[in-house]
Structure 1
Amino acid sequence: MTSVQDLLNLLVLEKISDTEFNGDSKTIGSPNVFGGQVLAQALNAASRTITNKRVLHSMHAYFLEAGNLELPITYNVSKVRDGGSFSVRRVTAHQKERTIFILSASFHKKEEGYNHQIQMKTNLNQPEDLMSWTDILNEFGDFLPKSLKAFFSIDRPVEFKPTVIVNPLERNDLPPFSDVWFKLKGDITGLDLATKQQILTYISDYNILISALNPHASKAHWGNTQTASLDHSMWYFRDFDFDDWLLYSMESPNASGARGFARGNIFTRDGKLIASVAQEGLMRPIQK
């Protein structure tokens, strides 16, 4: 995938019935289906059963089994509730006879109310002054570990620019933080809010566990640690556009029991908080 149109072709599911949809998969460099893809596809299925113009405000999901890239994924939607203000949907994802994923999503009618938010960090380099993953590959590809070079070589519809570039050959423990600017590639005009939220959800599964690995970087890395998303929650606050860089600011309060917990906030460049994310992921040292 090289553009937002490729991503939309992946996320917009084939309709089988009013509550059943089918989707395919694209690799992002790992041997299993990318968690962000399943999250976004499940939201696409859920949103297509909403007929009262209510807006997605939160979702909570569990990854039950690794998805097979070669098999289609079937999404079944249960209409749990349509109340006076909120509508709730439950989505179950299957491959053949296996349930690989479940998600609950809540949609809210538009209302006016109180308004506040936390502030975005102000001491970060702007994206124009930073190197993207593509730039890092072109500049340092010959020196990168083989697995990392292969990961950076995958074509993506999103460009990422970390605010700090860590030398993977240095084994130093790092603070449990990570800040990454990101921007879509291609024509982003005419996207409705539901579509933008699905794309944002897809992107939200990138990078977040890095903040949980950082404090253990002297001994833990992607080559000797089994990682996988276990659960994922997201809250959507304000409308936004993809016409400029967005900031994903992440931190990890805890790692224990072979699991790492991380949370993040996503801001527009001018500091508007548009979403918050929380995830716990597997961080299992590989025993040799």
Structure 2
Amino acid sequence: MAGGVSMWPSIATADVVDALDLERVGPKGPEGSADPTGVVVFRARNIVTRIPRTLGAQVLAQTVVAAERVVPHMAVQTLQGVFPRAGDPTEPVDVRVERLHEGRSVAMLQVGFRQGAAEHFRAFVTLGVPGAELVRHADALPVEVPGPEECAELPVPMLPWEVRTFGGVDALAPELAGPPRLDLWTRCAKVADGPTTARAILAWTTEGFLGPVALRPYPRDEIERRGGRAMSVALAQNITFHQEFSAHEWLLLRCASEYAGDGRMHGRIRVFTRDGRLVASVTADGLMRPGVRP
């Protein structure tokens, strides 16, 4: 993955909407029902781009939709996903959802994305309903963070909705260097809003920034000196949804690359609303290694 906005594949909003429309293929029955083993299977469509593998952002979003289709009276609270191998974006995929536990207030599922005998994504998902509150606190959004009106557009072809950051395209310009942190405002008013869609869109949005933020301290000349272009691969991503939010409102992604070395990278994203509510937290791990010189 090279620096700059051209690192992302180009996707249309209609592609995202189509990818989130999962077809239930087994077992037959009302929404939420499963076979005797507690398994539900969906058929998912992949988005084909110039990248020769299934998009991690897509499968994270599809996992949210599949989980809430299986347990429709609960909302996804945590998603812990791993990417053991690359999927083939030219072929459909079966999404197998297995109930591990379902109680009155919490459910736990295992979700696997499989093409033939090969599984390219697996996640453990917890869902729940609001419970009796004993305590409440959350990290606060610093007052000095520029709002979306103070930021410029950052075209991200993989996110066919609004994305803004302070400095605009220069924030990820490959010839410039910056700290391994980035604040991004985003909102998606192009899709029908709803709690499940909002969580799916946010899961999609958070996947693509670990590599670019890890590269910010190193301008293009330094990357070439270190071995050519950078090559990054996602290995795992964990998402926790804290509170409800809307896909149509401005959300701030505070991205930080907290470690990079030994061919690996680790990052964190905290997601806030404009009024300062912490609505989601994300951690991600991947590989970051020298690629082939252009």
Alignment correspondent of 1:149: none
Alignment correspondent of 2:128: 108
Q: Which runs of 5+ in 2 are unaligned?
A: 1-10, 28-39
Query: How far does residue 71 in structure 1 lie from its aligned partner after superposition?
Result: 0.8
Alignment correspondent of 1:37: 58
Q: Secondary structure at the match of 2:276?
A: coil
Supply the distance in 1 between the matched residues of 2:262 and 2:98 (Cα, whole angstroms): 34
Alignment correspondent of 2:83: 63
CA contact (8 A) 1:28 1:156 kept: no
For each residue in 1:234-268, what CA deviation from the matched residue of structure 2 results, as whole angstroms up to 9, or x when unmatched?
10011111232211001122112211100010111
Supply the distance in 1 between the matched residues of 2:104 and 2:190 (Cα, whole angstroms): 39
CA contact (8 A) 2:258 2:267 kept: yes
Query: How far does residue 124 in structure 1 lie from its aligned partner after superposition?
Result: 2.8
TM-score by length of structure 2 reads: 0.82
Supply the distance in 2 between the matched residues of 1:192 and 1:44 (Cα, whole angstroms): 11
Find the partner of 1:186 among 174, 184, 190.
Answer: 190
Supply the distance in 2 between the matched residues of 1:204 and 1:59 (Cα, whole angstroms): 13
Query: How far does residue 7 in structure 1 lie from its aligned partner after superposition?
Result: 2.2
Alignment correspondent of 2:16: 7
Find the partner of 2:112 among 83, 92, 97.
Answer: 92
- Residue pairs, 1:22-171, within 5 angstroms: 22-27=43-48, 30-51=51-72, 53-113=73-133, 114-134=135-155, 154=157, 156-164=159-167, 165-166=170-171, 168-171=173-176
Query: How far does residue 159 in structure 1 lie from its aligned partner after superposition?
Result: 2.0
Query: How far does residue 168 in structure 1 lie from its aligned partner after superposition?
Result: 2.7
CA contact (8 A) 2:107 2:128 kept: yes
Q: Secondary structure at the match of 2:202?
A: helix
- Residue pairs, 1:188-267, within 5 angstroms: 188=192, 191-217=193-219, 219-220=222-223, 224-267=229-272
Supply the distance in 1 between the matched residues of 2:172 and 2:161 (Cα, whole angstroms): 22
- Residue type of the partner of 2:78? S
TM-score by length of structure 1 reads: 0.83
Aligned residues: 265
Quick one: percent identity of the two aligned structures?
25
Q: Secondary structure at the match of 2:51?
A: coil
- Residue type of the partner of 2:185? W
Supply the distance in 1 between the matched residues of 2:245 and 2:91 (Cα, whole angstroms): 34
For each residue in 1:117-148, what CA deviation from the matched residue of structure 2 results, as whole angstroms up to 9, or x when unmatched?
111132233223332234xxxxxxxxxxxxxx
Alignment correspondent of 1:269: 274
Aligned-residue Cα RMSD (Å) equals 2.3
Identify if the C-alpha distance between structure 1 residues 278 and 169 changes in structure 2 by more than 3 Å, giving closer, same or farther.
closer
Supply the distance in 1 between the matched residues of 2:289 and 2:113 (Cα, whole angstroms): 25
Supply the distance in 1 between the matched residues of 2:191 and 2:68 (Cα, whole angstroms): 23
Q: Which runs of 5+ in 1 are unaligned?
A: 135-151
Supply the distance in 2 between the matched residues of 1:104 and 1:86 (Cα, whole angstroms): 13
CA contact (8 A) 1:76 1:91 kept: yes
- Residue type of the partner of 2:195? L
Supply the distance in 2 between the matched residues of 1:75 and 1:187 (Cα, whole angstroms): 23
For each residue in 1:34-71, what CA deviation from the matched residue of structure 2 results, as whole angstroms up to 9, or x when unmatched?
101011112222221115x2221101000111122111
Alignment correspondent of 1:146: none
CA contact (8 A) 1:54 1:110 kept: no
Supply the distance in 1 between the matched residues of 2:44 and 2:83 (Cα, whole angstroms): 16
Query: How far does residue 162 in structure 1 lie from its aligned partner after superposition?
Result: 2.2
Supply the distance in 2 between the matched residues of 1:83 and 1:254 (Cα, whole angstroms): 38
Query: How far does residue 16 in structure 1 lie from its aligned partner after superposition?
Result: 0.4
CA contact (8 A) 2:15 2:47 kept: no
Query: How far does residue 220 in structure 1 lie from its aligned partner after superposition?
Result: 3.0
CA contact (8 A) 2:68 2:74 kept: no
Supply the distance in 1 between the matched residues of 2:48 and 2:148 (Cα, whole angstroms): 26
CA contact (8 A) 1:90 1:102 kept: yes
CA contact (8 A) 2:197 2:247 kept: no
